[in-house]
Structure 1
Amino acid sequence: MPFIPPLDDPWPGLVPPVRVDPAGKVGPTRKQARGPGWRRTSRGLYVPAEVDGSDLRQRIVEAAAVLPSYGGVAGWAALAWCGGRWFDGLHPGGASRRPVTLVTSCQDVRSQAGITISAERLDPREIVVVQGLRVTIPARAVAFEARYARSLGAAVECIDMAAYSDLVSLEECAQYAAKLNGWTGIPRFREAIPLADENAWSPQEVFMRRVWTVDAGMPRPLCNRPVFDENGRHIGTPDLIDPVAGVVGEYEGKLHLEGAQRSRDVRREGLFRGLGLEYVTMLAGDCASPSDFIRRLQEAYARSQWIPPEDRRWRMQPPPWWTDTSTVHSRRTLPEWERARLLRYRAA
C-alpha cells in the first residue's frame, strides 16, 4: 500500500454530480437541468448552479464521476487528491486550468471539456480508493506527470513537489521507472529522477536550483539543510547551500520585500554572513530572466574563495538533539504530532 499522508475529510462542501431524475428526487428533471438552477459538469451529469466549479477538489470530484467501472484519476489530480500541496491544477502562470486526466485503459470513454482520457494500460494494483475516489497510486501519478511534462525542468519539479508531500521517494520513483520500458516519455522521467531532491520546499526553489547548476554551472547545492554555529545553535535553514564553497542561496518572493518579513530576512542574512557564509538571493523578477541572479551567484562564489578558514564558523553536522526531516523516509516515520510540529515551518 503506498504512503498517503493523513487527510482531512475532503467531502464537506463538495457536491458529486447527479444524473437527470424524472421524479426530481435525486437529481434535476430534464426541464430543471436546462434551467439556470443547474450546471452541467459533463455529459449527462449536473450539480446545482451555486456549486463552485473552480474549486480544485470540486473539479476532481466532477471529473471522477465520468469514470467507468475500471480506472482512476491520474496525474496531477491524483497527487492533489492524495494531499500534494503544490499541485494546483493550473497551467504555468496560473492563467488557465489544466484538465483532469482519467486513466481508463481499454474502456471506451471520450474526452470532454475539462477532462482528458488516457488509454494507457493500467495494472489494477495501481488503483487505490482515497476518501471515496479511485485514483492511481502516487508513483504512477508522478510518472505520468513527468513523462508528459513540457520540459525536463518541469519533470524534476513534479518529482520534487510530490516528495515534498511525502507521496513518493526518489527510490520509489526509480523502482517504478524500471518497470516502464517502452512507455511514452519514460526517458525524460528516468533522466529527471537523479536531478530531483526530496527536501525542496517550493517550485521556486526547484527553479533556483536548476539555474544554479545548469545555467550557472555551479556545484549542486543542498536543499533546506540546517546551519549551526560552533556551539550547536541552529542559525537557520537556507533554501540552498553549497557547504564546500560556503555559499547560501535564498529565494525572495513579493512577500519578502516589505514589513516584518523583510526585517527577518535582513537579520537572517546577517547571521549567515557572521558565520563566514556568502549570501545570494533570487528575486521574483529573476524567474523571467535569471542573468542577474547568475551574475550575483558567480560573484558570491568568487568572494567565498577569499574567506579565511578561521572565519568559516558554520557547521552542517546537527547536534544530537536535532531531528532530521530532510528525506521522505525520515518524515514518514515521524509520529503525527511530531510531524505537525516539525514540518509546519515549511509552509511559512
Structure 2
Amino acid sequence: MPSHVDPRAAEQRIVEAAVRLPSGGAVTGWAGLRWGGGAYFGGHDPAGGHLPVPLALDNHRKLRPQPGVELCEEFLAVDDITRVDGLPVTVHPRSVCRILRTTPSLERRVAALDMAAFYDLCSLQEVLDYARARLAGRPHVTRIWSALPHASENSWSPREPVMRLIWTRVAGLPEPLVNVPLFDRWGSHLVTPDLLDPATGVVGEYDGAQHGELRPRERDLGREELYRDLGLELVTMVSADNRDRDGFVRRLRSAYDRASRRPRSAAWTLQQPHWWVDTSTVARRRALDEEQRRVWLRRQQVAA
C-alpha cells in the first residue's frame, strides 16, 4: 500500500476487507452504501470509533474471522449482488436493511433510511419491497417495519429526522412537512424550511454547518427575520438539544401556542409555480437529466 494512503479512510478499509471475499460474497451494510456513493455512511459508531466492514456470505461459504471485518452469514441470492467500480456489493435495499436490523436506535435507523434516499441509493418503497420479499422471519426484521413509517425521501441532513422524531414522538405534535419550498403570490421562491406544519405556520430548522452550504441565500437574508415577515413561528434546534431535548420541546410547544393565537398569513403558499422542478422523491430525482441535476440537486453535490 502506498505510504500516502490513509488506512483509516472508509474506502481503504472497504477495499482491504473485500480482498478477503470468497466467490459469491459481497460488501454490505454501511460499507456497501458508502461504496455506492453514500458519503453519510462513514463506518463510525456513535462514539466515533470504526465499525467493522460487513461482508455478506451465504451460510455455505465460511471465512475465518478477521479484525475489522464483520461476517454476515445468511441466505444470499445471486441477484442480491451487484458490482460497483469492480467491487461486489449487495444491492442497496439489502445494505440498508442490514443497517436497520443491526441498529437498536430508532433515530439512527430513520436517519439511515433518510440518507440512503438523499443519495438516491434506494427509495423507501424499494426497501419495503425487498424486506417483504427476502427478509420475512429474519432476526430483528421488525426494526425495519418500525422505522419505515417515520422516514422521508426529502431529508437534507441526518439531523432532520432526529428533529422530526422529537417533534412527533416526544412533543406529540402533528407530522411536519419536510423541506417543502414556500413561494409568494407571484410564484417567487421565498425559503425552504427543514420542517413545516402548514396548518399552524410553525417552522423547525436544525442550526448546523449544512445550512451554511446548502442554503446560503436564506442564511444571508437572515432567516429569522424572513420567517417573522412571513408570519411564521421559527423554532431552531441546536446541537446542545441532542443532550437536553426538553428545552427544544418547550420552545416547540411555545411556538405552537403563539401560532394558535393569530390567523394564518397569506404571505406564502405551498403552490409550486410552473417553472419549479419538484425533487422531493427518489423517483423524481432519478428522472432528471444531467443538466437538471446540476441545477436542482446542488445539495447532493455539496454533500458528496
Q: What amino acid is aligned across from residue 154 of structure 1 in structure 2?
A: R
Distance 1:251 1:209, change over 3 A: same
Distance 1:262 1:199, change over 3 A: closer
Partner of 2:274: 320
- 1:225 matches 2:185: no
Partner of 2:50: 97
Q: What amino acid is aligned across from residue 224 of structure 1 in structure 2?
A: N
Q: What amino acid is aligned across from residue 65 of structure 2 in structure 1?
A: S
Secondary structure at the counterpart of residue 153 of structure 2 = coil
Match of 2:286 among 332, 336, 344: 332
- 1:53 matches 2:22: no
CA distance in structure 2 between the partners assigned to 1:84 and 1:255 by the alignment:
16
Q: What's the CA shift string for 1:259-283, capped at 9, x where partnerless? A: xx79926622222221211111001
Q: What amino acid is aligned across from residue 99 of structure 1 in structure 2?
A: P
| Preserved contact between residue 128 and residue 137 of structure 1 (Cα < 8 Å) | yes
Larger helix percent: 2
Secondary structure at the counterpart of residue 145 of structure 1 = helix
Partner of 1:301: 256
- 1:236 matches 2:191: yes
- CA RMSD in angstroms comes to 2.0
CA distance in structure 2 between the partners assigned to 1:228 and 1:300 by the alignment:
22
Write out aligned runs for 1:22-61 (5 A): 47-48=1-2, 50-61=4-15
Partner of 1:116: 70
Distance 1:220 1:178, change over 3 A: same
Q: What amino acid is aligned across from residue 296 of structure 1 in structure 2?
A: R
Deviation of the 1:61 alpha carbon: 0.6
| Preserved contact between residue 256 and residue 262 of structure 1 (Cα < 8 Å) | no
Deviation of the 1:51 alpha carbon: 2.9
Q: What's the CA shift string for 1:170-216, capped at 9, x where partnerless? A: 11111112122111111110121111100011111111111111111
Please give the TM-score of this superposition, normalised by the length of structure 2: 0.93
Deviation of the 1:308 alpha carbon: 2.0
Please give the TM-score of this superposition, normalised by the length of structure 1: 0.81
| Preserved contact between residue 229 and residue 275 of structure 1 (Cα < 8 Å) | no
Deviation of the 1:118 alpha carbon: 0.6
| Preserved contact between residue 33 and residue 92 of structure 2 (Cα < 8 Å) | yes
CA distance in structure 2 between the partners assigned to 1:201 and 1:111 by the alignment:
37
For structure 1, the residue ranges without an aligned partner over 5 or more in a row are 1-46
Q: What's the CA shift string for 1:121-180, capped at 9, x where partnerless? A: 101101001101000000100111111112222211111110000111111111112122
| Preserved contact between residue 235 and residue 272 of structure 1 (Cα < 8 Å) | no
Q: What amino acid is aligned across from residue 240 of structure 1 in structure 2?
A: L
Match of 2:240 among 285, 298, 304: 285
Q: What amino acid is aligned across from residue 72 of structure 1 in structure 2?
A: A
CA distance in structure 1 between the partners assigned to 2:248 and 2:9 by the alignment:
36
Partner of 2:132: 178
Partner of 1:150: 104
Secondary structure at the counterpart of residue 117 of structure 1 = strand
Partner of 2:163: 208
| Preserved contact between residue 26 and residue 55 of structure 2 (Cα < 8 Å) | yes
For structure 2, the residue ranges without an aligned partner over 5 or more in a row are none
Deviation of the 1:337 alpha carbon: 2.1
- The percentage of counterpart residues that share the same residue type is 46
Higher relative contact order (CA 8 A, sep 6+): 2
Partner of 1:140: 94
Q: What amino acid is aligned across from residue 100 of structure 1 in structure 2?
A: V
- 1:78 matches 2:78: no
Q: What amino acid is aligned across from residue 313 of structure 1 in structure 2?
A: A
CA distance in structure 1 between the partners assigned to 2:244 and 2:66 by the alignment:
37
Q: What amino acid is aligned across from residue 169 of structure 2 in structure 1?
A: V
Q: What amino acid is aligned across from residue 107 of structure 2 in structure 1?
A: G
CA distance in structure 1 between the partners assigned to 2:119 and 2:299 by the alignment:
14
Alignment length (residue pairs): 298
CA distance in structure 1 between the partners assigned to 2:168 and 2:118 by the alignment:
21
